[in-house]
Chain A
C-alpha cells in the first residue's frame, strides 16, 4: 500500500465540531459544548472505501457532515482537490458540492415528500446548470436505470416507493452530478435485511463503474467489514483505531475495538456457542463532559493511571495500523 498522502483524495486534519449548549432567551450565553467530533486526523485514498464505525453518539455522522461542510467545523482542515473546504464560503462552496455528495440513512426522511422523483433527481442537474428541459429528463431516466429502477417512475412521488427503492432514488440523486466522493451515512440501517444486500451490491457496482471514493458510516461492523477497504473505529468523538479491514478483525489493538468485535452477533449458533464475549460495563459517557485523558478509560478493562491523565496519541503501530491507546 502506498503512502496515503500520495494518493489521498480527501485529507482531514484536526477536525473538531462542537455544538454549543446555550441558556437564556433574550441574551443567549454558552454554558457548555457537546464535543461531538474532537480532533480527527485521517485521509481517504482515491477509489477506496473508508468505513467509519462506532456506536450512537460517537460522532460518526457529525464527522460525515462536517467533512461536507453541512455542519461548519469548529476547527481543523478538510483538504479536497487541493482546497481547504473549511475556508470556502457561499458560492465557491456551493459549486464544490458537484464533486462531493451524500447518501442518507433514512430513505423516508431524506426525500422531499412533495416533489416527484424526476424533480428530486433533476434538482442537482438544475442547480449546477448541468442539464435542462428534455436533456434533464433523459439524464434522470438514465440515472433511474443505473440504480435499477424503472425509468417510467419519473412522475411518481416518494411515498409510492418502498424503503429500498427510495434509497435507490437517494443514490441516483447523489450520482446525478457525477461526484468523486460520496459520504454514505448509514445507508442501509433503516432497511430490511433482504433489501440491505441489494443496496450494498448497488453501491459496490457503482464504485467500480464510476471510480467513486466512499466514506461509509455505519454502526454494523459486519457490513462495514464487507464493504470497506480500511476501517476507522470511533469512540466519543475520537478515532481510536484505523487500519485495513482484515487487520482490524484479525488483530485488533484497541480494547474498545476488541469489545466491539466480540459484541457483534454472528448468525451461526455453533460459532456463537464458542465465542468469548467481552462485556463492557456501563454506558458511553456524555460528550458534554467526556472523561479526562483517554475517553475510553471509564469502561476499559486495561485501564492504567496514565489513561486517566493523558490523552493517548493517535500513532502508527506499524504497517499503517493506527491506534490511540497507552496499553498497546
Chain B
C-alpha cells in the first residue's frame, strides 16, 4: 500500500510572553493508505499540536510552523495557499475532536451541519445532502436517524454527539481521519461503542486513521502502528504488537509499568515514572527524558538521540535501548 501522508521534520512553536514554547520539535512520520496510526503521549507531548499543524489549524500568532513539510497527494500542505488547504480540510482529511459539544454549533440542526460540508465540497443539492446525511447517521449507529436528523445537538447524549461528529467527518469520504482523543470524555461502555463503530467503518470504507490518545489500552485494540511522543519528539515507533511486546524506550516502558491492568491481580506496587515532563520553553540540551530516566548515562544529558532503527520495523530514540532490552529480558526470566 502506498504512503498517504508523509510528515518530515515538522517543528511547531508558540511565541508567548514567557518565551518560545517548543511544542513539536522535528517530527517525521508517515501514514500508509488504509492504516491506523496511534499517536500516544501525555498532555503537552505535542501529539495534538502536530496534527493541528498538519491541518494548518494552529492559531497564528502565537503559533508558527517553523519548519518541515507535510506531503499529502503530492502537495506540501505547509506551503499551499488558504484556499487549497480548505479544500483538503474536511474533504480529504477530516478531524474528530475530544469534546463533541464544543465542536457542534448549538443553534443549528444536525441536518444543517452535516449537509453544509456535502453541499460545499461535493456540490450536492439540499435534498441529496439530506438523504446522504440520514445514511451517514445510520452508518454510525444512530437509531431512528430519519426522525432525529432535525434535532439540535443538545438533544443528543455525549456518545450520540460523538457519533454525529464521526458522521460529519466521514461525510465527504475522506482518505484520512484524524481522531483527537475522541473517546476521552466518554464513559467506558460508550467508548466501547465508539471504538467498535470506528473499527467497523474502517473495514467498510478503508480510510486511514490517525488516532491521538493518552490511553494505551484504547490504542492497543485499535492501531496497526504506534508512535509514542514525549516533549515534542517521536521517541518510539513500531507496530502495535511489537511495541507492547518489546518496548525499547525507557519512557514507553515506564508508561506500561505505571498503569494497572484490569486482567492482573494486585501487583505489590506500580512503578511510576518519577519527576515531571520538561519545560517546553527551556528544553533540556540532551535527551528530553534523561532526568526522569533510570537508564541514563552522561551522554544522555548532552546529546539528544535521533529516532533510529532498533529492531525490525521498530524505531527508537534512545542511546541505551540495548541496555533496556537486556535488562527487561533478565526481569522477565
Q: Hey, which bits of chain A sit against chain B, CB under 8 A?
A: 55-56, 162, 164-165, 192-198, 200-201, 204, 219, 221-223, 225-227, 245-246, 249, 259-273, 275, 277, 279-280, 282-284
Q: Does B188 contact A (CB under 8 A)?
A: yes
User: A204 contacts which chain B residues (CB < 8 A)?
Assistant: 269
A and B contact pairs by CB, cutoff 8 A, 10 listed: A55-B187, A162-B276, A193-B259, A194-B258, A197-B270, A201-B269, A222-B259, A266-B217, A268-B244, A269-B244
User: Chain B: which residue is nearest A198 at the CB level?
Assistant: B272
In the complex, the answer to whether B262 meets A260 with C-beta atoms within 8 Å is no
- Stretch of B51-59, B91-99, B189-197, B304-312 with 4 or more beta carbons under 8 angstroms from chain A: B189-197
Interface residues on B, range: 35 or more
In the complex, the answer to whether A193 meets B258 with C-beta atoms within 8 Å is yes
For the complex, what is the distance from the CA of A193 to the CA of B265, rounded to whole Å?
19
In the complex, the answer to whether B220 meets A263 with C-beta atoms within 8 Å is no
User: A275 contacts which chain B residues (CB < 8 A)?
Assistant: 221
User: B221 contacts which chain A residues (CB < 8 A)?
Assistant: 265-266, 269, 272-273, 275
For the complex, what is the distance from the CA of A246 to the CA of B265, rounded to whole Å?
7
User: Chain A: which residue is nearest B187 at the CB level?
Assistant: A55
Instruction: Report the minimum CB–CB distance from A11 to chain B (whole Å).
Output: 26
For the complex, what is the distance from the CA of A158 to the CA of B321, rounded to whole Å?
37
User: Chain B: which residue is nearest A249 at the CB level?
Assistant: B262
User: Chain B: which residue is nearest A283 at the CB level?
Assistant: B157
In the complex, the answer to whether A221 meets B190 with C-beta atoms within 8 Å is no
For the complex, what is the distance from the CA of A275 to the CA of B199, rounded to whole Å?
15
In the complex, the answer to whether A226 meets B258 with C-beta atoms within 8 Å is no
User: A280 contacts which chain B residues (CB < 8 A)?
Assistant: 189, 192-193
Given A193-B259, A197-B270, check contact A264 B188 (CB 8 Å).
Answer: yes
Given A164-B276, A263-B188, A269-B220, check contact A222 B270 (CB 8 Å).
Answer: no
Given A193-B42, A259-B189, A265-B220, check contact A225 B260 (CB 8 Å).
Answer: yes
Instruction: Report the minimum CB–CB distance from B311 to chain A (whole Å).
Output: 16
Q: Hey, which bits of chain B sit against chain A, CB under 8 A?
A: 42-43, 143, 157, 159-160, 187-193, 195-196, 214-218, 220-221, 240-241, 244-245, 254-263, 265-267, 269-274, 276-277
For the complex, what is the distance from the CA of A139 to the CA of B276, rounded to whole Å?
26
For the complex, what is the distance from the CA of A193 to the CA of B228, rounded to whole Å?
13
A265-B188, A273-B221, A280-B192 known; 7 new pairs, CB 8 Å cut-off, are A192-B214, A193-B255, A196-B258, A264-B217, A266-B221, A267-B256, A275-B221
Interface centre among B214, B245, B269 (most CB of A within 10 A): B269
In the complex, the answer to whether A195 meets B272 with C-beta atoms within 8 Å is yes
Instruction: Report the minimum CB–CB distance from A261 to chain B (whole Å).
Output: 7
Given A267-B256, A268-B261, A270-B241, check contact A197 B189 (CB 8 Å).
Answer: no
In the complex, the answer to whether A222 meets B240 with C-beta atoms within 8 Å is no
Interface centre among A200, A269, A280 (most CB of B within 10 A): A269
- Determine which of B143, B187, B245, B260 lies in contact with A222 in the assembled complex, contact meaning CB atoms within 8 Å: B260
For the complex, what is the distance from the CA of A219 to the CA of B240, rounded to whole Å?
26
User: B43 contacts which chain A residues (CB < 8 A)?
Assistant: 192
User: A272 contacts which chain B residues (CB < 8 A)?
Assistant: 220-221
For the complex, what is the distance from the CA of A225 to the CA of B258, rounded to whole Å?
14
In the complex, the answer to whether B273 meets A267 with C-beta atoms within 8 Å is no
- Determine which of A222, A223, A268 lies in contact with B220 in the assembled complex, contact meaning CB atoms within 8 Å: A268
In the complex, the answer to whether A222 meets B261 with C-beta atoms within 8 Å is yes
Given A196-B259, A226-B260, check contact A201 B187 (CB 8 Å).
Answer: no
Given A194-B42, A201-B270, A226-B267, check contact A267 B261 (CB 8 Å).
Answer: yes
User: B263 contacts which chain A residues (CB < 8 A)?
Assistant: 249, 266, 271
User: Chain A: which residue is nearest B216 at the CB level?
Assistant: A267
Instruction: Report the minimum CB–CB distance from A256 to chain B (whole Å).
Output: 9
For the complex, what is the distance from the CA of A7 to the CA of B193, rounded to whole Å?
42
- Determine which of B159, B215, B218, B273 lies in contact with A194 in the assembled complex, contact meaning CB atoms within 8 Å: B273
User: B274 contacts which chain A residues (CB < 8 A)?
Assistant: 198
7 closest cross-chain pairs (CB), A and B:
A265-B217, A197-B272, A226-B260, A197-B258, A55-B187, A263-B192, A272-B221
In the complex, the answer to whether B261 meets A277 with C-beta atoms within 8 Å is no
In the complex, the answer to whether A223 meets B159 with C-beta atoms within 8 Å is no
In the complex, the answer to whether B262 meets A266 with C-beta atoms within 8 Å is yes
In the complex, the answer to whether B259 meets A269 with C-beta atoms within 8 Å is no
For the complex, what is the distance from the CA of A245 to the CA of B241, rounded to whole Å?
29
